[in-house]
Chain A
Amino acid sequence: MLKPAALITAAALLMLLGSCTPAPQPYQWALPEGFPKPAVPADSPMSTAKAELGRYLFYDKALSGNGQQSCASCHQQATAFAESSAVSTGSTGDKHRRNALALINVAYNKTLTWAHPELQQIEQQLLIPMFGEQPVELGISGHEAQVLQQLQRGPYPALFEAAFGDEEVSFQRVTQALASFVRSLISLQSPFDRYAYQGDDSALTPEQINGMNLFFSERLECHHCHGGFNFTQSTSHEKQPLDRRPFHNTGLYFTARQQVEGQGYPDKDRGLAELSMQAGDDGRFRAPTLRNIVLTAPYMHDGSVATLEQVLDLYQQGGRNNTQGPWQGDGRLHPAKSNFVKGFDLTAEERAAVLAFLHSLTDTHFVSNPAYADPWPAQR
């Protein structure tokens, strides 16, 4: 007769063993002590090998229909994986209507892209640049076999084997590996991080601290949308269960339209309203992170603001009055404009301080980290 304690131990052992397939090393996130880990889909766990395969794919022009572009064509490390153009151009010359988002701590994003409340997994989002036809970005549609063929050249067989256990190439594996690489792009080593989360009082200048206090003040209201450790409220992590998907109208446009009744954001891009079919969602977009914001100009969903100084002007004025060009009208009057975008006064000194604070969000390690760089030899 087994004693109860022995029975319980045996049962516990059985349960432990049952769940033990050969356990890969748990992935080591590049996070400072105490930072919550991102939530990762159960069917696409992180591994170093998958992220490494993803890095090769991310920088490989063979991952496009005509071999002309890679992910890195529009998401460049030097600019925190954004692009210095107002809007991006796809592999076949199609202009995208939106500005390439920086890929910074995307693993923490509650939702992906500029305005899509249901798009929450990078594996799904990747299908848009890979296969989308309006506009064509990487343009893989119609060229699937040829692209998969290309991914059988060296060093891919070894990389697929390390990541997935065998050399088989499939688009599901490609998206999982790319997603793993994108999740590995963590930027938490700015001077602000050293001050805020590592307790280093000397990491920020007095001017930057003044700017930070202004940034988080009720007078400027910046943090209502750009709050939390990622400087966007659209953030989630393993310890944050609530379903929050904030989108905001910042008063950029209020113009006459051909396609949709009433004044609002131009027909070319009405933001969340295009998906939700709610007029009240006109011009609402997800607040992007402000980490490395100095590097990611131009700004806004359509890249229509060239410099950070002009962004500050815009928020100081409580939106933008477009007096020239095709979309004339006073965006400040848009009824769906966020009530946190109502304008404020800043002295020249305060304005300089806010800008100095925004500079403290630049993580030079992130944009020079060799682990995120192009792994391919220069001559290919």
Chain B
Amino acid sequence: MQNSKQVINYCAIFLLFALSGCQPQHQAPLQLQLQWQGQPLRCDSDLTLAGQTFRLAQLQLFLSDFRQNQPVALTPGPYSNDRLVLLGIDCQSNDAGQWQIPLASALTTGPLSFTVGVPAELNHQNPLVATAPLQQTDMHWSWQQGYKFLRLDLTGHASWSLHLGSTGCKGPSVMRAPQSPCQQPNQLQVQLQYSGQQQLVLDLAPLLQDFGASGDNSCMADRQTRSCQQLLPRLGVDASAVAGLWQLR
């Protein structure tokens, strides 16, 4: 009798696990919302940069190391490990993009911080044995340079790109890990005040609306180029990010 109760208990526990796997997570859902001048930005939205019309071709970015006084872990999945998630969309592909930040525990009211980037200790591993979310080759620069932390490609008036990643990573060659930290890690810290919001908004307008993008001035995280000199500080490289770029809503 005792045993059959145990069996029932095991079954009940098993069922609970099985069912909870199908339920939407109630804990602190937080979604990335891409936006342009306050409006949702989709693959078919027009965006006007300095009078010229563009469309989104791709926006992908890595967010990592969520913290509220102490680290907030993520749930590992096809697009995440316990400290890093790949979000965004490639407008050429058929999927609807990855927008959910898989926080493993509920957030509490107070400061919330995270990093745009791949932590340095994960950034220069053998790409062949990389596991999710670092196995995505279109976000990989090279073994030496690591990953593109943020990849924004626009199309329309011209094809234009903004790719952010670490630079000045010195090593014997591009196919070897750097032997010392990269000179410009370009990991961006973002800090916001959390009070129960459900959307993490990334508004590209404060970054780009007055920028005259052309086929010749893509920014590939190189500080020697004028376009990067203008845009990297707005993203928060060696500066406070431009107001309104990141918001909680």
Which residues of A line the B interface, CB within 8 A? Answer: 1-4, 7-8, 34-36, 117, 195-197, 201, 209, 212-213, 215-218, 223, 227-229, 233, 235, 237, 239-247, 280, 335-339, 342
- Contact between A235 and B7, CB atoms less than 8 A apart: no
A233 in contact with B174 (CB, 8 Å): no
Q: Is the pair A337, B128 in contact by a Cβ cutoff of 8 Å?
A: no
Asked if B174 and A212 sit within 8 Å, CB to CB, the answer is: yes
The reply to whether A227 and B92 contact each other, CB–CB distance below 8 Å, is no
B69 close to chain A: CB less than 8 A: no
**B137, A235: Cβ atoms closer than 8 Å:** yes
From known contacts A218-B222, A244-B90, A339-B215, infer whether A228 and B131 are also in contact, taking CB-CB under 8 Å.
no
- Whether A229 touches B128, Cβ cut-off 8 Å, given contacts A1-B4, A195-B175, is yes
Min C-beta distance of A195 to chain B, whole Å: 6
Instruction: For A243, give the chain B residue with the smallest CB separation.
Output: B93
Are B135 and A240 neighbours in the complex by a CB distance under 8 Å? yes
Q: Does B158 contact A (CB under 8 A)?
A: yes
Q: Is the CB of A227 within 8 A of B161?
A: no
Which residues from A are CB-within-8-Å of B121? Answer: none
Report chain A residues within 8 Å CB of B218: 339
Enumerate chain B residues within 8 angstroms of A243, measured Cβ to Cβ: 90, 93-95
For the A-B complex with A215-B174, A342-B215 known, give 12 more contacts whose Cβ atoms are closer than 8 Å.
A34-B128, A36-B135, A216-B144, A229-B127, A237-B135, A239-B130, A240-B135, A241-B132, A246-B92, A247-B92, A339-B161, A339-B215
Q: How far is the CA of A227 from the CA of B127 in the complex (A)?
A: 11
Q: In whole angstroms, what is the CA distance A201 to B55 when docked?
A: 44
Chain B positions 78 through 111: 1 when the CB is less than 8 Å from some CB of chain A, otherwise 0:
1100000000001011110000000000000000
- Closest Cβ of chain A to B183, distance in Å, is 15
Which residues of B are interface residues toward A (Cβ below 8 A)?
A: 3-4, 6-7, 10, 78-79, 90, 92-95, 126-132, 135-138, 140-145, 153, 155, 158-161, 172-175, 215-216, 218, 220, 222
Docked pose: A7 CA to B6 CA in angstroms: 11
Q: In the complex the two chains form, what is the Cα distance from A339 to B158 in whole Å? A: 8
- The CB with the most chain B CB atoms within 10 A, among A195, A227, A244, is that of A244
A218 to B93, CA, bound (A): 25
Q: Which residues from chain B contact A117 at a C-beta distance below 8 Å? A: 92
Q: In the complex, what residue of chain A is closest to B167 when comparing beta carbons?
A: A218
State the Cβ distance, A230 to closest chain B Cβ, in Å: 8
**What is the CA–CA distance of A1 and B153 in the complex, to the nearest angstrom?**
65
Asked whether, in the complex, the Cβ of A245 is within 8 Å of the Cβ of B92, the reply is yes
11 contacts between A and B (CB under 8 A): A36-B128, A36-B135, A195-B173, A212-B173, A227-B138, A227-B140, A245-B93, A247-B92, A335-B158, A336-B159, A339-B160
Task: Give the shortest distance, in Å, between B13 (CB) and chain A (any CB).
Answer: 11
Closest A residue by C-beta to B165? A218
Q: Which 7 residue pairs of A and B lie closest in terms of their CB atoms, listed nearest first?
A: A228-B137, A339-B159, A196-B175, A243-B93, A216-B174, A218-B220, A216-B142
Chain A: CB-nearest residue to B9? A4
Instruction: Using CB atoms, name the residue of chain A closest to B174.
Output: A216
Complex: A34 Cα to B135 Cα, angstroms: 13
Contact across chains for B222 and A223 when beta carbons are under 8 A apart: no
A94 nearest CB across to chain B (Å): 32
* Cβ–Cβ contact A242 & B160, under 8 A: no
- Residues in chain A near residue B92, CB distance under 8 A: 117, 244-247
Q: Complex: how many Å from CA A235 to CA B92?
A: 15
Query: Which B residues are in CB contact (< 8 Å) with A241?
Result: 78-79, 132
Contact, CB under 8 Å: A4 / B10: yes
Establish whether residues A240 and B136, one from each chain, have CB atoms under 8 Å apart when the complex forms: yes
The interface residues of chain B lying within 8 Å CB-to-CB of A237 are 135
Known interface pairs A240-B135, A247-B92, A342-B216. Does A228 touch B140 (Cβ–Cβ under 8 Å)?
Answer: yes
A154 to B241, CA, bound (A): 72
B contact residues around A280 at 8 Å (CB): 155
Bound state CA distance, A2 and B3, in angstroms?
A: 8
The answer to whether B138 and A233 have CB atoms under 8 Å apart is yes
Among residues of A, the one whose C-beta sits closest to the C-beta of B130 is A239
Q: Is the CB of A4 within 8 A of B3?
A: yes
What is the bound-complex CA distance between A213 and B95, given in angstroms?
A: 34
In angstroms, Cα B13 to Cα A22, docked, is 34
Q: How far is the CB of A322 from chain B (nearest CB, A)?
A: 20
Do A3 and B3 have beta carbons less than 8 Å apart?
Answer: yes
* CB <8 Å contact, B142 and A197: no
Please give me the residue from chain A that is nearest to B142 by CB atom.
A216
* Contact partners of B141 in chain A: CB under 8 A: 216, 223
A242 and B173 within 8 A (CB): no
Q: How far is the CA of A241 from the CA of B3 in the complex (A)?
A: 43
Closest CB of chain A to B175's CB: distance in Å? Answer: 4
Cα–Cα, bound, A213→B7 (Å): 62
Bound together, the chains give a CA A197 to CA B173 distance in angstroms of: 13
Report B66 CB to chain A, min CB distance, Å. 22
